[in-house]
Amino acid sequence: MTMILPFGPGGSVDVLARALGVAMAEELNVPVVMDNRPGASGAIGAAAAARAAADGTTLFFGSSSTQSVLPNVRAKLPFDPVSDFTPISLVAEVENALVVNPAVPAQSLGELVAYAKANPGKLSYGSFGTGSITHLAAELFKMAAGVDIVHVPYKTATDLDVALMGGQLHCAFVTLASSMPHIKSGRLRPLAVSSSQRSPFLPQVPTTAEAGYPAVIAVSWGALYAPRRMDPALVTRLNAVVRKALEQPQVKERFHAVNARPLPSSPQELAAYQARDHARWANVVKTARIEVEG
């Protein structure tokens, strides 16, 4: 069995997929080979998985990037995030947090909003790039809070963190998977976690809903898919295997190492979850008038 990953080795998605693959291989008694297909923000790997046979020999580790964000910021993709795949199960959620440089005089989300309103157009926020979830999350926040903060895109999470810590930026939405060391060291101050519940990794930090902005939900996630038209019996079998794998202590330990929360689901729950996420970002792209790439 081959599991296609739409990103390169070493990142959080790679860590999650490999931990899941090892556990699934033990349960199925067949080797699960990781096939990293990075490029085009995940579109290359997704397209390869979409063209594969739905016989159980190829699976796809999709994410919020490939299945809900990318389809909203690219006019043309070599795959359809819904019709080209058979949902199997959600795998994990990775919370995003709104953080500020410690020099920013805001100890809470409410204080940041007040500060931004008192200084319209003078604050800046960073992202992993135009059209990334960190960009869309900040635009969603701007819409909900009614603030004017300038977007400054960067190429990588590392570049973004460096700019934040160096004072070139005031704030940003960052993933806990990439920025937790800087939060723990005090070089970045978290004001809120953009999820419906508090993060087990930052339990002292309120959610955006608790801070008064329940519409600001921006969570990165990973899920397992198969090519379209897979036999329902095989889907049921693979769903059970994923659920059992996510209960294994060694899998939970690997997920915890990258600040990810295991989140198994039924295929139907995954489809509904993806649809809600896709609709949220479609509304942000339209309302914020974010330019869609060709």
Residue 237 has pLDDT above 80, yes or no: yes
Res 275: pLDDT: 98
Task: Please give the average per-residue pLDDT across 73-83, as a whole number.
Answer: 94
Task: Please give the average per-residue pLDDT across 149-162, as a whole number.
Answer: 93
Residue 11 has pLDDT above 90, yes or no: no
pLDDT tens-place string over residues 262-281: 999 999 999 999 999 999 99
> Are residues 291 and 142 in contact, defined by beta-carbon separation less than 8 angstroms?
no
Measured in whole angstroms, how far is the alpha carbon of residue 288 from the centre of its chain?
20
pLDDT tens-place string over residues 171-208: 999 999 889 999 999 999 999 999 989 999 999 999 99
Exposure of 52 by Cβ count < 10 A (0-12 exposed, 13-18 middle, 19+ buried)? Answer: middle
Residue 254 has pLDDT above 80, yes or no: yes
Sign, CA torsion 230/231/236/238: negative
Res 121: pLDDT: 94
Sign, CA torsion 21/80/261/106: positive
CA pair distance 21, 57, nearest whole angstrom: 13
pLDDT tens-place string over residues 19-35: 999 999 999 999 999 99
Residue 155 has pLDDT above 90, yes or no: no
Res 294: pLDDT: 61
Mean of the per-residue pLDDT values of the chain = 95
The band of 288, judged by pLDDT with boundaries at 50, 70 and 90, is: very high
The residue among 251, 154, 258 whose CA lies nearest residue 199 is 258
CA pair distance 8, 42, nearest whole angstrom: 9
List of domains in the chain: 2-92+219-287 (3.40.190.150), 95-193 (3.40.190.10)
Sign, CA torsion 184/187/193/194: negative
